[in-house]
Amino acid sequence: MSQTNIIVGSGFSGSTMARLIAEKLDEKVVVVDKKDHIAGNSYDYRDENGIMIHKYGSHIFHTNNEKVWSFLKQFTDFNTYMHEVVGILDGIEAQIPFNFTTLYQVFPETLAKRLEEKLLKKFEYNKKVPILEFQKQDDEDLKFLAEYVYEKIFLNYTTKQWGVSPKDVDGAVTARVPVYLSKDNRYFQDKYQGIPLEGYAKLVEKMLDHPNIEVVLNKDFAEFKKENSDLVKNARIFYTGSIDEFFDYKLGKLPYRSVNFKFETHNRDFYQTHACINYPNNYDFTRIHEYKHYLNDKSEKTVIAKEYSEFFELGKNERYYPIASEENAKLYQKYLDEAKNLKDVYFFGRLGDYKYYNMDLAVARAIELFEEVFNA
Ligand code: UDP
């Protein structure tokens, strides 16, 4: 066992790769992370009130991928939490995604009924329609409804979240939250959903708990490279950081959106009805998270976080969301072309691939890359 593998980043992507290499190939793996904890942005911890806090915002696991589910189940059990989101629309707490429940929550019954009938005539029941497509209506009532949904749910939220209107963000982003011709109030319809019973950090800790895996925290990869040049020279590198950082930004910086969480502790049992309430049209934050809902934590207090979106700035905040655009894709591709000249260096993960992955897709991509590189 002489080959060393260096994995940069201990989030879902890096930790999945680390585990697969350590276990299936019986090779040595060093996981290097610049943060002072493992698990990347899925990191969580129990605070002094016994409430599991998701430090970087709510993480709800959901997948239809059997392979991903059985891989993760080796390290944790999940509860049966199914996420529901409500938004404050004209002061009314209403289901998001907009669905038949929302219709009756926000409109008088006679109007809701008329709209429901027209919707059922035009669309198949249970269909998910992206808002930008839903706006293409010729019936006056449905035009009114489409305008309502666009204005009240998407326009201001997306402007706060991305700094531009829904028409100027990649369609796949707003399509994550479609108009849903259904009475299913859940945010996700995946077969498997839930929160790891002991949290995400514990899940990742168990993934990394293998005799072949060494974890180095508080260490920037550039610094690690300087201090361990011989090791790095001969190792395979699996890099889940941002590709521009790997190349010291020589072709320019890839932009990201970031978020800033303002935490508050309240002396009451619950602050809000749901784990996540969206505020598309009020305030400067996009949503409020209340953490005790996720694992049904018992405490006389409750902890919430108000989520404010901002641009990512190096040294100031964290990278959260790649910004899909033609220009950014071109810059990313230029870095990938540079990477082709390197031997044994692989980029993956939300930052390494510059793709808006959910946790399950991050795991799936790491498994695929492992199989591809090692013909496994
Ligand atoms: N979105 C919106 N209003 C909402 C919820 C979502 O306009 O109430 C749009 C917004 O552009 C957001 C995107 O849908 O960035 C995806 O939302 P999702 O909840 O999937 O984002 P995440 O939880 O990954 O931040």
DSSP-assigned states of every residue in 5-41:
EEEE--SHHHHHHHHHIIIII--EEEEE-SSSSSSGG
**DSSP assignment of 48-81:** TTS-EEETTS---EEE--HHHHHHHHTT--B---
CB-based burial, 19-48: b 16+ in 10 Å, e otherwise: bbbbbebebbbbbbbbbebbbbbbbbeebe
Measured distance CA(232)–CA(58) in Å, rounded: 35
Q: Which of 86, 102, 157 has the most ligand 1 atoms within 8 A of CB, as the residue to mutate?
A: 157
Distance 177 CA to ligand 1 centre (A): 6
Q: Are 194 and 5 a contacting pair, CB within 8 Å?
A: no
Instruction: Count the alpha carbons within 13 Å of 291 in the hemisphere toward its beta carbon.
Output: 29
What φ, ψ does residue 362 adopt, rounded to 5°?
-65, -45
Place of tokens 């505020």: 279
Ligand 1 contact via 161 beta carbon (within 6 Å): yes
Q: Is the CB of 63 under 6 A from ligand 1?
A: no
CA of 176 from ligand 1 middle (Å) equals: 7
- What does the block give as tokens for 5? 């593998």
Give 225 Cα–ligand 1 centroid separation in angstroms: 38
Whole-angstrom Cα distance, residue 242 to residue 352?
Answer: 5
Among candidates 163, 160, 203, 199, which has minimal Cα distance to 292?
A: 199
Encoded amino acid at 212, one letter: N
CA distances from 10 to 32, 72, 88, 117, 193 (A): 7, 15, 36, 50, 22
- Only one residue has tokens 């993960």, namely 349
Counting from 1 in the atom list of ligand 1, the atom nearest the Cα of 85 is 8
pLDDT of residue 258: 98
Q: Considering the entire predicted model, what is its pTM?
A: 0.97
Q: How far apart are CA 365 and CA 50, in angstroms?
A: 34
Q: How far is the CA of 97 from the centre of ligand 1 (A)?
A: 10
Beta bridge partners of 94: 87
The residues, any chain, with a CB within 8 Å of residue 220's CB and separated by 6 or more, are 34
**Rounded CA separation 51/38 (Å):** 19
Task: Determine whether the shortest distance from the Cβ of 157 to ligand 1 is under 6 A.
Answer: yes
State in Å: Cα 40 to ligand 1 middle: 21
Name the token pair of 273.
């009805």
Distance (Å) from CA 22 to ligand 1 centroid: 36
Atom of ligand 1 nearest to the CA of 87: 8
Atom of ligand 1 nearest to the CA of 187: 19
The rounded Å distance from CA 1 to ligand 1 centre is 46
Residue nearest to atom 11 of ligand 1 (CA): 158
> Is the CB–ligand 1 distance for residue 174 below 6 Å?
yes
Report the pLDDT value the prediction gives residue 232, as an integer from 0 to 100.
96
- Residue 22 identity: A
Q: Is 87 in the pocket of ligand 1 (CB under 6 A)?
A: yes
Is the minimum distance from the CB of 176 to ligand 1 under 6 angstroms? yes
| Amino acid in position 20 | L
- Ramachandran angles phi, psi of 258, nearest 5°: -125, 170
Q: What is the DSSP string of 142-187?
A: HHHHHHHHIIIIIIHHHHHHHSS-GGGS-HHHHTTS-EE-SS---S
In angstroms, the first-to-last Cα distance of the chain is 18
Beta bridge partners of residue 268, listed in sequence order:
none
* Binned average pLDDT, 10 residues per bin, the chain of 376 residues: 91 99 98 98 98 98 98 98 98 98 98 98 97 97 98 98 96 97 98 98 98 98 97 97 98 98 98 98 98 98 98 97 98 98 97 98 98 95
How far is residue 228's CA from residue 222's CA, in Å, rounded to a whole number? 10
Return the ligand 1 atom nearest residue 358 CA. Answer: 24
The position carrying tokens 């990278």 is 319
What pLDDT sits at residue 376?
Answer: 84
User: Token pair for residue 157?
Assistant: 């939220």
Residues whose CB is less than 8 angstroms from the CB of residue 230 and which lie 6 or more positions away in sequence, other chains included:
none
Report, in angstroms and rounded to the nearest whole number, the Rg of the chain calculated over CA atoms: 22
- Amino acid 152 reads K
Q: Atom 13 in ligand 1: which residue has the minimum CA distance?
A: 174
Distance (angstroms) between ligand 1 centre and the Cα of 25 equals: 39
Q: How much is the pLDDT for 153?
A: 98
Does the beta carbon of 207 lie inside 6 Å of ligand 1?
no
Phi/psi region, residue 126 (left: phi>0; alpha: psi -120 to 50; beta: rest), is: left
